[in-house]
Structure 1
Amino acid sequence: MLVLVVLLIPRLAITCKASLVQCKAHYPHPPLHKYHQPGDLIIGGIASQTFIISNSATFSEEPQPTRFEALAGVTKNYQHILALAFAVREINENPQLLPNVTLGFHINENYFNTQWTYYDTMEMLSTPDRFIPNYKCDVRNNLLAVIVGLDSQTYLHVATVLDIYKIPQLIYGSAPEMNDKTPGLPFYQMAPSKDLQYVGICSLLLHFRWVWIGALTMDNEIGERFVERVLPLFTQSGICFAFIERAGRINFVSDMEEMLQIGAKIYDKIFNSQANVLVCHGESFSMTSLRWLPYLSELFNLTDKVQGKVWIITTQMDLTSMVYQRTWNVDMFHGAVSFSLHSSDPPGFHQFVDDTNPSSMKGDGFILDFWQQAFGCIFPDTDVGNADENMCTGREKLESLHRSVFEMSMTGHSYSIYNAVHAVAHALCVMSSSQLRHRTVGNGGELKLQNQQLWQSHPFLRSVSFNNSAGDKVSFDHNGNLIVGLDINNWIIYPNQSFHRVKIGMMDPQIPPDQALTISEEKITWHSCFNQMQPFSLCSDHCYPGYSKKMKEGEPFCCYDFIPCPEGKISDQEDMNDCFKCTDNYYPNEAQDFCIPRNISFLSYEEPLGISLAFSALSLSVITGLVLQTFMKHHNTPIVKANNQNLTYTLLISLLLCFLSALLFIGQPEKWTCLLRQTAFGIVFSVAVSCVLAKTIMVVLAFMTTKPGSRMRKWVGTRLATSIVLSCSLIQAGICITWLATTPPFPDTDYHSVTEEIILQCNEGSITMFYSALSYMGFLSIVSFTIAFLARKLPDSFNEAKLITFSMLVFCSVWLSFVPTYLSTKGKHMVAVEIFSILASSAGLLGCIFFPKLYIIVFRPELNKREQLVRRNQ
């Protein structure tokens, strides 16, 4: 791991003295083993000294002691050094940014060793050539900021020391997790927060509906923190883990066999799993370990399990290779999707890299070793290798290298280093013109910054905002995180094992998380195993609309069976946990996968049933009116007189109103029709039945008065009939008035009786009052029927008892059948049943009581004479 330290250096030549190396000699170099991983930025081996590199620097003629271990390095990370050098050169060549000031930098190596990390950090705070912690007498080499490398664990050791001095620290890799971090400590993250990346991965999985995934992370604290963060986030979003594997790191040769066995188990778990998507989280060196996986299949006879997977790679990882891995097969990563720090190519960087060679980079202690490892050659004056091996000319072109070895375009981490250097420079530029700075002018008018001014640079660095040469805005948020998004790339592996990154989307931190992800599916190339079809990654097949998921006992929630929706419910999307009811205005279709608008239903005048009933009601009303007119016209005839004219007229009028009251039941229910329809019908019908009852009683009394000495003669008269009609009708009127006063009927909407319809109806308000009014009419009709039945054999030619018996028999039959029929029907048919009962019962009374008499009056007038009546009575 390298720590990049940006220094503010006056325009003086800087000499790299041997004393630096001699100081380090007091601390023995940590033992290195054959399989020990080198640092991320060390190219061509591991440097055992501190390099001081500057555009204005010259080096003493004294040989610079270096020691490189013959290790295979990650050559790709040499671009980080070039990005740093390029940024410093840009700044130093810009006279308007920092006039009379030259930036320089150190690059320190820690060897993944805590002891060396602390030593290098303390050395930065010491006077050059003299390692005396917390003592600095040099006024020229002033430490201004530290750019910390890729692996976050290194930062924790560095911050332990640098936080004491409030030295600005810029992290170009992932930020460390610090539970005890005091707010306001001076570090700045050149990458978005991890939360943005985790939300981005979750959004990507949901976008492609990948809900059954595997996870591969490191077997350390960083890996555990990753699992702790993403597990609840993914679970809440409906994503399950088929497995979570933790891979260790090879540190010693003795660990090799054990790690290979662990790797074989991981390989077996990955490629035996039904999950086609694998989220891979690690540090910068993790990809070199993953490249062993294809060879484990051969080593452990697992070749038959190889299949395509979609690898989702986090920002810290990139397709890199050790020197010995450059020809290894990486087909399994074809179609991988990686999140990376946003990057652009600053103008001139490509040319700067293209011009890089061992002769142009004087003072670069890394380039020779990098060159040898990148091109697989050796320089004649080195002690490494055999003289017969391929010799380096120094004219080799970096452009010819595979991207896994070296990239010409600036990568995300290199771009973060580039922006970090410029952020420090712009902060210094603002600070130099501020009234708050402390400055002293020495010999020659050169600007010198004292150590006590380090803490003063934080307000300027925190508020820095500028556009870099690539046109991107650089600024920090209130947490000290660079306001920048993440690029989403698709890896395309070619047959010659070179690869290409295609940008397919991004995560924008400045818009809501649910809209932050943008993806271009048409640009994605999937693994060849998927035949360029979007892969599925499911534990169970999709649960299609019309079905709901049924969890399997003991299985994750992504593993389920599916069952049809129960009656009355639907599911209109895939993978729904439960079915739901349609809103009141809709009902389920037959497949139960969408809702159909309901029809508004009521008995209207525009449909055949309503027209038929209305026509029948009007026709019967007209007939009743004609009968009434006929009886009134022949009111002086014996047959009319013999049947109590007043009762006859009252009965006919009430029957006429009964027929007309049926029209109140037809049409869309309104407030006034709901109030009138049942109450008006109940009162009018009660009057009609009361008239029939009065007629029956009057017939019986009339017969009884014919007996000699009968005392019943005084009861025969209109007063008794009127009293019967009024008393019986008033009781019904009282019931209806009470009904209207307490719980009156009102227009209502029934959504439940008929599935396909919304029924507009009159709610009776009180079912008790409704059936009370109906029962009272039934009581009157039964009493009338009973009396008429008992008097049916009275000897009188015009005795109405028989006619009343038949009419009440019809009446009672209709209403007795009405009750079960009414209760078993719904909607407009229920209204039609009641209308039919009204018309049928009224027509029964009209027909049975009046038509025989009407026949005599109209067609047999010769029988409508007193002589005929007397003769027939005899």
Structure 2
Amino acid sequence: MNSALALKYVVDGLKQRTAYTHAKAAGEVTDEASSVKCTLQDTTRLPAFSMDGDYTIGGVFSIHYNMQNMKHNYTTMPEPLQCTGRIEPRELRFSRAMIFAIEEINKSSKLLPGIRLGYQIHDSCASVPMAVKVAFQLTNGLDPYFYTSHNCSQSGMVMAVVGESSTGQSIAISRVIGSFNIPQVSHFSTCACLSNKQQYPSFFRTIPSDQFQANALAKLVKQFGWTWIGAVRSESDYGNNGMASFLATAHKEGICVEYSESFNRYHPRSRIQRVADVIRRSTAVVVVAFVSFGDMKTLLEELSREPSPPRQWIGSEAWVTHPDMLKFTFCAGAIGFGIPRSVIPGLRDFLLDLPPIKVASSPILTEFWEDAFNCSLDFDGATDKRLCDGTEDIQKLQSPYTDTSQLRITNMVYKAVYAVAHAIHNAVCQETNSTTQCDKLSRTESKQILAQLKKVNFSQNGYPVSFDANGDPVAAYELVNWQKSGSLEFVTVGYYDASMPVGQEFHINRDLTWMEERTQVPVSVCSDSCPPGTHKVLQKGKPICCFDCIPCPEGEISNSTDSTDCFPCPKEFWPNAKRDSCLPKPVEFLSFDEVLGIILAAFSVGGACLAIITGTVFFRHRTSPIVRANNSELSFLLLFSLTLCFLCSLTFIGAPSEWSCMLRHTAFGITFVLCISCVLGKTIVVLMAFKATLPGSNIMKWFGPLQQRMTVVSFTFIQVLICTVWLVVSPPFPMKNLTTYKDRIILECALGSAVGFWAVLGYIGLLAVFCFVLAVLARKLPDNFNEAKLITFSMLIFCAVWITFIPAYVSSPGKFTVAVEIFAILASSFGLILCIFAPKCFIILLKPEKNTKKHLMNKNQY
């Protein structure tokens, strides 16, 4: 008998057995029993896989990814729910891994010895309605009729349920079985909402909550400097809750979202197209997708129809490690978090152990086999496919079902089954004298298993299993990158461990490949970073990541990238040209090194030399009539005071110090009073000399040399007294002027007491005005007998200079204030020496013939 014929006999025999089972489940075949029976109100749905045992564990997986659409007319009983589409090979592997774990436990001598676990594994078709139906069926059992002595509750209740893969279905199952205290352990439902023990008190999971994944994804986006992203999510509990958690964390990290779109694969294609168009038109290069596998597959198929600009995909665990997604090569470079890879010894051999009799006995395996090898096991010829001839070799099959190189979620199923087994073990077994005794005859309720599940803490194949107060495990992820090495494959490039201290959870240990196989991290920002020297100003009506870079105001800097504000430099510092650092302000004062200081110093020294030269000329011709006639003693004293006036201006040049500040103002005040006193003495002598020529007048005895000296000393002493009081009460002092100029420091002498300064100037002005008035009164006297006109001109210049000095001094900024003061001193000093002594020196040196007593006594002018 050839292999094809043998296979036909096996299939026919199993068809007959299956038909009988269906008839019994539908109530067409009944057993003799008591008339007291409970009846299910709906037709039962046979499990995809089942096995009897002392304790039964339920399993729910999305083996098919679609369900037949039902049309309800509300007049007849709806048709039974039916799955459609192709089998999902990975989900089939999950269900077979559950069977493998249970068979491994049944063979164990340490875990549940002497007890046989059974299972009922159902296909939810990845739909909530079917998940609800399956949940009730796991609660009630498979028999349409069951017999009881008192009530119809908890007749066929399973001890626990493993599953479901999707959050929506898990929520539906949990709301049903949670009322009966039946624990549920999911291997792939990651919604953070399921951690709420008030709503889902019996829910556990071996996969981390999306709250951890959302935090990890936000930190991943922040790690690479992406502040402008797009976001897509499944329109489901998984997508909505996961994306909400991600966006909340991203907002705290300063990440902005250009768009946030939701969809699912059951939406009309126009809706999917709209989401795809949003992705194509967006300016955000990075797209974070919190999407289930089926939805993401639909979206990428739509995006593949029309090429879009390159996008850097950041994926959630639900799709980023799914083998079927690798066919979308335009997503190369995608990164995301996956459950750590694992090794389950013996699983591959178990998955590949599918002899024809096992395949034919299961409609699910039959469908998988026919789809995988594109042949038919229906030997009645009801299909156009070729008949399977027994030569099909599953060992050579390339399918997610047979691929055990990246066992991630499969290990979560494996751990979930073992968690339930440990809970049952702790509930029904006891350790006695190093031996384990299990009582399989005792009635064990599901709430006991629920209580024990909260306490489990064990390791299986090196994988720790425990649950926190929310039913969640410790979160640990691998960072997975889609890299091309001939073909597209998953490469682990780092990890994230939520149990590590803050700041140390994230680690990358390999180079990443980005979109379009780039080696440089792509840039995804709304606005380029603001360089130092500028600050961010938000653009009106846009997120905080969209901004303009505005230069810092005068006097302020920013020394970091993307500064939100500028800050002023310290008082003695000023920004550089780029306004990204503070430099010490240049210190400014009237120095001997600059042109203005050199010129003023030269005029000062020149003036002093001129006074000395004039004094020398007068001394050498002291016996000449013109010198004797002009009160030589006062003339020499005047020349000496003028020399001091010229030289005191030098104290105003150079960096101010305590002694120079006190000296410059007091020396200036005293020397000028001495100078004006001499001029005033000369003027009084001229007036009194004219009065003395009148008959009967002896007034000159009151204005002799002694009186002249006393006059000069008295006037000067008053100024000395004013300066002394000024220096004692509040003397001038050096200071840094930071207000006149913002960008530099002016070193100057503060007046100390402004009253003292203006008292010194006022006293000089008072003497100058008095002298000017006397000189004006004496201007009509004969020119040969006095120098009243020369004194009048000198006092006129003196008064004009100092009257204009006051507004110029007040309004001149910085070092020019000092320059104005020096100019006033020099101008008034030169006015005095030139007006009073220049004509006399001219006669002495150039017109000696006029330097005679006869010439002075005549009426001719000299």
Q: How many percent identity over aligned positions?
A: 19
Residue 501 (structure 1) shift:
1.3
Mapped partners of 1:773, 1:24: distance in 2: 120
1:107 paired to 2:121: yes
1:416 paired to 2:412: yes
Tell me the residue number matched to 2:738.
Answer: 750
Tell me the residue number matched to 2:317.
Answer: 315
Tell me the residue number matched to 1:273.
Answer: 282
Mapped partners of 1:108, 1:520: distance in 2: 41
1:41 paired to 2:61: yes
Look up the equivalent residue of 1:28 and give its one-letter code.
Answer: T
Q: Is the 8 A contact 2:683 2:788 kept in 1?
A: no
Tell me the residue number matched to 2:338.
Answer: 341
Tell me the residue number matched to 2:473.
Answer: 482
Mapped partners of 2:411, 2:371: distance in 1: 24
Within a 5 Å distance, the mapping from 1:581-600 to structure 2 comes to 587-590=574-577, 592=578, 594-595=580-581, 597-598=583-584, 600=586
Mapped partners of 2:175, 2:191: distance in 1: 15
Mapped partners of 1:475, 1:607: distance in 2: 83
Q: Is the 8 A contact 1:788 1:802 kept in 2?
A: no
Tell me the residue number matched to 2:31.
Answer: none
Mapped partners of 1:233, 1:119: distance in 2: 37
Mapped partners of 2:651, 2:81: distance in 1: 110
Q: Is the 8 A contact 2:61 2:124 kept in 1?
A: no
Residue 724 (structure 1) shift:
2.4
Mapped partners of 1:635, 1:457: distance in 2: 130
Within a 5 Å distance, the mapping from 1:501-580 to structure 2 comes to 501-510=490-499, 516-519=505-508, 522-527=511-516, 534-539=521-526
Secondary structure of 2:665's counterpart equals: helix
What CA deviation, in whole Å up to 9, does each residue of 1:74-107 have, x standing for no partner? 2123332355455556666776677667766543
1:159 paired to 2:174: yes
Q: Is the 8 A contact 2:481 2:492 kept in 1?
A: yes
Q: Is the 8 A contact 1:605 1:666 kept in 2?
A: yes
Residue 293 (structure 1) shift:
0.5
Look up the equivalent residue of 2:91 and give its one-letter code.
Answer: N
1:691 paired to 2:674: yes
Residue 526 (structure 1) shift:
1.4
Tell me the residue number matched to 2:163.
Answer: 148
Tell me the residue number matched to 1:75.
Answer: 89
Look up the equivalent residue of 2:301 and give its one-letter code.
Answer: W
Within a 5 Å distance, the mapping from 1:118-267 to structure 2 comes to 118=132, 120-121=134-135, 143=159, 146-163=161-178, 168-172=183-187, 173-177=189-193, 181-182=197-198, 185=201, 187-220=203-236, 222-226=238-242, 228-231=244-247, 233-235=249-251, 237-250=253-266, 259-267=268-276
Secondary structure of 1:597's counterpart equals: strand
Tell me the residue number matched to 2:49.
Answer: none
Mapped partners of 1:406, 1:117: distance in 2: 26
Mapped partners of 1:499, 1:858: distance in 2: 113
Secondary structure of 1:174's counterpart equals: coil
Tell me the residue number matched to 2:8.
Answer: none
Look up the equivalent residue of 1:272 and give its one-letter code.
Answer: R
Q: Is the 8 A contact 1:215 1:241 kept in 2?
A: yes
What CA deviation, in whole Å up to 9, does each residue of 1:747-806 have, x standing for no partner? 447388253x5x263573879669746863773575367347635776467848736854
TM-score, normalisation: structure 2: 0.71
Mapped partners of 1:180, 1:86: distance in 2: 31
Residue 259 (structure 1) shift:
0.7
Mapped partners of 2:110, 2:180: distance in 1: 30
Change (3 A) 1:18 1:390: closer
TM-score, normalisation: structure 1: 0.70
Q: Is the 8 A contact 2:65 2:86 kept in 1?
A: yes
Change (3 A) 1:387 1:501: closer
Look up the equivalent residue of 1:753 and give its one-letter code.
Answer: Y
Residue 313 (structure 1) shift:
1.8
Residue 500 (structure 1) shift:
1.0
Tell me the residue number matched to 1:9.
Answer: none
Within a 5 Å distance, the mapping from 1:18-37 to structure 2 comes to 26-28=41-43
Residue 174 (structure 1) shift:
1.0
Tell me the residue number matched to 1:460.
Answer: 455
Look up the equivalent residue of 1:313 and give its one-letter code.
Answer: G
Q: Is the 8 A contact 1:283 1:316 kept in 2?
A: yes
Change (3 A) 1:131 1:559: farther
Change (3 A) 1:155 1:396: closer
Tell me the residue number matched to 2:438.
Answer: 446
What CA deviation, in whole Å up to 9, does each residue of 1:177-230 have, x standing for no partner? 269753994544434443443343334444444444332223345544455444
Q: Is the 8 A contact 2:296 2:319 kept in 1?
A: yes
Q: Decide which of 398, 403, 407 is 1:400's aligned counterpart.
A: 398
RMSD across aligned positions (CA)? 5.9
Look up the equivalent residue of 1:761 and give its one-letter code.
Answer: L
Secondary structure of 2:92's counterpart equals: helix
Look up the equivalent residue of 1:292 and give its one-letter code.
Answer: E
Residue 873 (structure 1) shift:
11
Q: Is the 8 A contact 2:63 2:124 kept in 1?
A: no
Q: Is the 8 A contact 2:192 2:241 kept in 1?
A: no
Secondary structure of 1:460's counterpart equals: coil
What CA deviation, in whole Å up to 9, does each residue of 1:435-471 have, x standing for no partner? xx98899x9943568446445425633xx375x645x
Mapped partners of 1:872, 1:849: distance in 2: 23
Within a 5 Å distance, the mapping from 1:529-678 to structure 2 comes to 534-539=521-526, 587-590=574-577, 592=578, 594-595=580-581, 597-598=583-584, 600-603=586-589, 652=640, 656=644, 659=647, 662-663=650-651, 666-667=654-655, 673=657, 677-678=660-661
Segments of 5+ residues of structure 2 without an aligned counterpart are: 1-17, 27-37, 47-58, 69-79
Change (3 A) 1:27 1:136: closer
Mapped partners of 1:156, 1:565: distance in 2: 55
Change (3 A) 1:265 1:164: closer
